[in-house]
Amino acid sequence: MTGAFMVIGLKHGETRAEDEKSKEKAYRLVQEFVDEFKSRNGSIVCRELLGCDISTPEGRNLAIEKKKLFTNLCPKLVQGAAEIIEQIL
User: 14 and 23 in contact (C-beta within 8 Å)?
Assistant: yes
Domain span including residue 45:
22-88
5 lies in a domain?
Answer: no
75 lies in a domain?
Answer: yes
- How many residues are listed for the chain in this entry? 89
- Measured from the Cβ of residue 63, the count of other Cβ atoms closer than 10 Å reads 20
Half-sphere exposure of 56 (CA within 13 A, CB side): 7
6 lies in a domain?
Answer: no
13 lies in a domain?
Answer: no
Amino acid 81: pLDDT: 95
65 lies in a domain?
Answer: yes
Name the residue among 53, 10, 3 with its Cα closest to residue 33.
Answer: 3
26 lies in a domain?
Answer: yes
39 lies in a domain?
Answer: yes
Amino acid 8: pLDDT: 81
Amino acid 19: pLDDT: 66
pTM greater than 0.75: yes
Amino acid 40: pLDDT: 97
Amino acid 17: pLDDT: 66
Which tens digit of pLDDT belongs to each residue from 18-74? 668 878 888 899 999 999 999 999 999 999 999 999 999 999 899 888 878 888 899
Could you give the number of structural domains in the chain?
Answer: 1
